[in-house]
Amino acid sequence: MKKRIAILGSTGSIGVQALEVISNNTDLFEVDVLTANSSTELLIAQAKQFEPNIVIIADETKYNEISNALKSLPIKVFAGADSIAQVVESSEIDIVLTAMVGYAGLLPTINAIKAGKKIALANKETLVVAGELIKDLALQNNAQIIPVDSEHSAIFQCLVGEVNNNIEKIILTASGGPFRGKDKTFLAKVTRGQALKHPNWAMGNKITIDSATLMNKGLEVIEAKWLFDIKPEQIDVIVHPQSIVHSLVQFEDGSLKAQLGLPDMKLPIQYAFGFPERIKNKFDRFNFIDYPELTFEQPDKENFTCLQIAYDALDKGGNTACVMNAANEVLVDAFLNNKVGFLQIPEYIQETIIKSNFIAKPSLDDYINSNKLAREITQSLIKSTK
Write phi, then psi, for 304 (nearest 5 degrees): -120, 80
pLDDT tens for each residue of 125-156: 999 999 999 999 999 999 999 999 999 999 99
What single-letter amino acid sits at 204? G
pLDDT tens for each residue of 314-338: 999 999 999 999 999 999 999 999 9
- For residues 35 and 56, is the Cβ–Cβ distance under 8 A? yes
Cα separation, 383 vs 386, whole angstroms: 6
* Cα Rg, the chain, nearest whole Å: 20
Chain centre to alpha carbon of residue 85: 17
Cα separation, 305 vs 105, whole angstroms: 26
- For residues 98 and 9, is the Cβ–Cβ distance under 8 A? yes
What pLDDT score does 179 carry? Answer: 92
pLDDT band at 201 (very low <50, low <70, confident <90, very high): low
- For residues 356 and 305, is the Cβ–Cβ distance under 8 A? no
Confidence check: pLDDT of 162 > 70: yes
The domains found in the chain, sorted by start residue, are 3-147 (3.40.50.720), 150-305 (no CATH), 317-386 (1.10.1740.10)
Closest CA to 42 of 27, 72, 62, 71: 62
What pLDDT score does 385 carry? Answer: 77
- For residues 291 and 284, is the Cβ–Cβ distance under 8 A? no
Closest CA to 245 of 177, 176, 171: 171
Chain centre to alpha carbon of residue 261: 19
- For residues 225 and 202, is the Cβ–Cβ distance under 8 A? no
pLDDT band at 386 (very low <50, low <70, confident <90, very high): low
Mean pLDDT estimate for the chain: 95
pLDDT band at 202 (very low <50, low <70, confident <90, very high): low
pLDDT tens for each residue of 51-102: 999 999 999 999 999 999 999 999 999 999 999 999 999 999 999 999 998 8
pLDDT band at 203 (very low <50, low <70, confident <90, very high): confident
